């Protein structure tokens, strides 16, 4: 049984307002996407990696993979216009060489602070429940607002979980979900767990982390830089 990662990296980075896609922005002389790739490259339970990339950036990615010794990178496919399509493109590539009971770990390419224990717990929970989605408890008060100006309704945070990635599923299950989505004309779900929820599947949670941030804005890049250089104080348990 193989563990194959699909990294979604097809975004153009419009919210960072930079000239190149955010996943290729250099932070301390290394592209953001390479930090993410290194996390999975260095994990002993990951066998192969597929990246669903922005059109025209595939050769640049292969060059970076060679430079940074990302030997587990086996597939580079063109991403779609949505995250759902990008994942499906990755699935089509890996399905040719893998079995239905192999594990697919879907992760955002612009979540570079993914740590080994998050990956490990995700795989453990997937093995136990058949699927796993990294998540953390919601600690903020959440309001519902139609106009983004005011609100008179909040949601009890005690029952809320904020999902992250990775999301792990059996290859056969995730493939079947995407085929069913096509039949139902479901084309733009935000994440694999959202698609599974629409299809009536239960979501099982694995360990997440506040540090496992998704880089979408310039502020996120600054936070990422700070986290890279942060050291845990000895007195913190």
pLDDT in tens, 24-39: 999 999 999 999 999 9
Q: Does residue 12 register a pLDDT over 70?
A: no
Per-residue CA distances from 60 to 29, 36, 69, 158 (Å) = 15, 16, 14, 45
- State the pTM of this model: 0.92
What residues have CB less than 8 Å from 221, skipping those under 6 apart?
Answer: 16, 22, 25, 27, 32, 215
Q: Does residue 108 register a pLDDT over 60?
A: yes
Per-residue pLDDT, 233: 65
Q: Tens of pLDDT along 151-206?
A: 999 888 888 999 999 999 999 999 999 999 999 999 999 799 999 999 999 999 99
Top-confidence residue, 1 or 104: 104
Q: How far apart are CA 137 and CA 106, in angstroms?
A: 21
CB 6 within 8 A of CB 87: yes
Res. 77 pLDDT band, cuts 50 70 90: very high
CATH number at 3-136+162-228: 3.90.550.10
DSSP 55: T
DSSP E strands: which ranges in 111-203? 131-137, 142-143, 154-155, 161-170
Place of tokens 């000239």: 19
Res. 130 pLDDT band, cuts 50 70 90: very high
């Amino acid at each position: 049984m193989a563990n194959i990662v699909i990294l979604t990296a097809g975004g153009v980075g419009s919210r960072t307002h930079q000239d190149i896609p955010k996943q290729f922005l250099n932070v301390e002389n290394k592209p953001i996407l390479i930090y993410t790739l290194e996390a999975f490259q260095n994990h002993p339970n990951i066998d192969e990696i597929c990246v669903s990339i922005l059109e025209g950036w595939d050769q640049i990615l292969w060059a970076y993979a060679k430079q940074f010794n990302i030997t587990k990178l086996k597939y580079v496919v063109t991403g779609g216009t949505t995250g759902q399509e990008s994942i499906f493109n990755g699935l089509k590539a890996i399905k040719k060489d893998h079995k239905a009971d192999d594990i697919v770990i879907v992760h955002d390419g612009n979540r570079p602070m993914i740590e080994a224990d998050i990956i490990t717990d995700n795989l453990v929970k997937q093995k136990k429940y058949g699927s796993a989605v990294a998540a953390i408890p919601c600690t903020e008060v959440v309001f519902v607002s139609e106009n983004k100006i005011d609100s008179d309704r909040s949601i009890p945070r005690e029952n809320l979980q904020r999902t992250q990635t990775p999301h792990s599923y059996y290859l056969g299950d995730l493939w079947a979900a995407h085929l069913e989505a096509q039949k139902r004309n479901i084309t733009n779900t935000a994440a694999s767990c959202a698609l599974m929820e629409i299809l009536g599947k239960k979501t099982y949670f694995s360990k997440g982390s506040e540090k496992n941030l998704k880089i979408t804005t310039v502020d996120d890049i600054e936070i990422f830089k700070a986290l890279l250089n942060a050291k845990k104080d000895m007195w913190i348990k």
